[in-house]
Amino acid sequence: MARQLRAEQTRATIIGAAADLFDRHGYESTSLSEIVTHAGVTKGALYFHFAAKEDLAHAIMEIQSRTSRRLARDLDGRGYSSLEALMRLTFGMARLCEEGPVLRAGLRLATAGVPVRPPLPHPFTEWREIAMSRLLNAVRQSDVHPDIDVDSVAHTLVCSVVGTRVVSGTLEPAGRQPRRLAQMWYILIRGMVPVTRRARYLTLASRLERETGAP
């Protein structure tokens, strides 16, 4: 049992080190030797868990997928409307990205075109499906106009969230991200939420911005 725990800790250490380097320098510019040094482990320890750099990338994207699905399920179980759950999901993922390098690295891997091994879906495909299911429910709950193209809105939402993260991460300090997400939601809400319900969600976007940006 103690040996298994040490092995799991070593694996997590290697993943964390790889994620940090992928996030800061990119996948192609990071070598296995650099990961070994950054993790403070031997090459043998790394190769015991991961045969190649591609295996590390896959492990990071698996964690990213589990995290987004777990957060989505958790929010669904809290009694929020579907639109509120979707909004909270975007701010929650932004917060988790700031808490550690793994999710940031997962996003960088996804935007860099690193191949995703089946059956793991591509992150953008998974996020679009999560958004679509909640938007469809939001239409049923009368929080979204019934005549919107849900597929197009879900696609636009994922593009906006990813683009906001990438552009803000390049041009602005990390603390600006919640504000940019709120601004994104102000635009989407005005375009897809009926006037009678709009104030509720505009207020929610402002509140989530404050909560996510709080130290």
Question: Bigger pLDDT: 168 or 128?
Answer: 128
Angle between the N-to-C axes of helices 101-111 and 2-25, in degrees from 0 to 180, rounded to the nearest 10: 50
Residue at token pair 């969230």: 161
Can you give the pLDDT at residue 85? 98
* 105-155 pLDDT tens trace: 999 999 998 999 999 999 999 999 999 999 999 999 999 999 999 999 999
Can you give the pLDDT at residue 30? 97
Q: What is the pTM (predicted TM-score) of this model?
A: 0.92
Q: Quick one: pLDDT band at residue 40, thresholds 50, 70, 90? A: very high
Query: Could you give the CA distance from residue 179 to residue 97 in angstroms, rounded to a whole number?
Result: 15
The answer, yes or no, to whether residue 60 has pLDDT greater than 50, is yes
Average pLDDT over residues 8-33: 96
